[in-house]
C-alpha cells in the first residue's frame, strides 16, 4: 500500500544547525549529481543495485532519476528529501522513505531479532551523507534530527532505519543513537544483507 493510500501525507522539511531537509526536486539536478559523484564509491555499496552510479553516469541520467523520485513523492508512493547546507548551494545527502510493503521488500527473506514483523512497520527509512562530512560527525547529527522528525512530524506507528551489513560506519552511527536491530532481510539481487533498526 502506498503512503497516500494509507493516509500518510509527507511532513514538511526542517532546518537544523547549518543544514536543511526538504523534498528533492528535479531542479536540484546539478547539485545532486555533484554530491552523488563525490561519494560514488560509498554509494556503490549503499545502493544495493550495482554499479550505481556507473562510471558513465551523466547529469541527464541523474535528472531522469530525480524526475522519477519527484513523481513518486507527489503521488505518495515514496517520499524523497534532499539534505542541503543552509543556503542551498551544496547537497550534503539524501533521506528516503518507503512503505514497508514497497516492491523492494515484497520478496525479501526476513529474519526478526525480537519478534517485530515487517507487516507492523509503516516506513523503511534510509539515508546517506557525503563521505567528506563523516569526520565532522554530520552523519550522526542528521540521523538524530531525522529520528526526531519521524517521531514528531510524521504519522507513522513504526518507522525503521535501514542500512546494510557492509556499511560499518553507518551501522556504528545508528547504534550510537541507541537504536536496536529489529530484523534483517535479504533479496536475491542484493550484494549484502540489510538491517532494520528502531
- Ordered DSSP codes for 81-98: EEEEETTSSSEEEEEEEE
Q: What is the pLDDT of residue 157?
A: 92
- The number of residues making up the chain comes to 198
Pairwise CA distance, residues 78 & 10, whole Å: 9
Q: What is the pLDDT of residue 52?
A: 87
Beta strands in the chain (DSSP E): 14-15, 19-23, 79-85, 91-99, 109-112, 123-129, 159-164, 181-186, 194-197
Domains of the chain, by residue range, sit at 14-197
- In the numeric block, the cell 528516503 is attached to 96
Quick one: how far is CA 143 from the chain centroid? Answer: 10
Q: What is the pLDDT of residue 105?
A: 85
Q: What is the DSSP letter of 192?
A: S
Q: What is the pLDDT of residue 60?
A: 98
- Give Cβ neighbours of residue 129 (< 8 Å, ≥ 6 apart): 83, 92, 93, 138, 139, 142
This prediction's pTM:
0.96
Multiple choice CATH, 14-197, 3.40.50.300, 3.40.109.10, 3.40.50.720, 3.40.630.30 = 3.40.630.30
Q: What is the pLDDT of residue 149?
A: 98
Q: Hey, is 166 helix, strand or coil? A: coil
Q: Hey, is 118 helix, strand or coil? A: helix
Q: What is the pLDDT of residue 118?
A: 81
Beta bridge partners of 195: 163, 184
Q: What is the pLDDT of residue 145?
A: 98
Q: What is the pLDDT of residue 121?
A: 94
Cα–Cα distance list, 148 to 24, 26, 108, 141 (Å)? 20, 27, 28, 11
Q: What is the pLDDT of residue 1?
A: 79
Opening angle at CA 64, ends 156 and 41, nearest 5: 80
Q: What is the pLDDT of residue 44?
A: 92
Pairwise CA distance, residues 181 & 173, whole Å: 13
pLDDT in single tens digits along all 198 residues of the chain: 799 999 999 999 999 999 999 999 999 999 999 999 999 999 999 988 667 899 899 999 999 999 999 999 999 999 999 999 999 999 999 999 999 999 888 889 999 999 888 888 999 999 999 999 999 999 999 999 999 999 999 999 999 999 999 999 999 999 999 999 999 999 988 999 999 999
Amino acid at each position: 500500500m502506498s503512503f497516500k493510500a494509507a493516509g500518510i501525507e509527507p511532513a514538511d522539511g526542517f532546518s537544523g544547525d547549518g543544514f536543511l531537509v526538504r523534498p528533492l526536486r528535479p531542479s536540484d539536478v546539478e547539485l545532486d549529481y555533484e554530491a552523488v559523484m563525490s561519494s560514488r564509491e560509498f554509494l556503490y555499496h549503499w545502493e544495493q543495485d550495482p554499479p550505481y552510479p556507473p562510471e558513465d553516469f551523466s547529469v541527464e541520467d541523474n535528472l531522469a532519476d530525480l524526475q522519477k523520485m519527484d513523481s513518486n513523492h507527489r503521488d505518495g508512493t515514496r517520499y524523497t528529501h534532499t539534505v542541503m547546507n543552509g543556503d542551498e548551494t551544496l547537497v550534503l545527502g539524501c533521506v528516503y522513505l518507503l512503505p514497508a510493503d514497497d516492491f523492494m521488500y515484497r520478496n525479501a527473506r526476513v529474519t526478526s531479532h525480537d519478534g517485530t514483523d515487517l507487516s507492523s512497520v509503516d516506513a523503511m527509512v534510509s539515508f546517506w551523507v557525503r563521505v567528506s562530512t563523516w569526520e565532522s560527525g554530520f552523519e550522526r547529527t542528521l540521523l538524530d534530527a531525522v529520528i526526531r522528525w519521524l517521531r514528531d512530524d510524521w504519522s507513522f506507528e513504526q518507522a525503521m532505519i535501514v542500512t546494510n551489513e557492509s556499511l560499518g560506519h553507518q551501522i556504528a552511527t545508528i547504534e550510537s543513537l541507541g537504536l536496536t536491530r529489529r530484523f534483517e532481510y535479504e533479496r536475491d539481487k542484493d550484494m549484502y544483507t540489510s538491517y532494520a533498526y528502531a
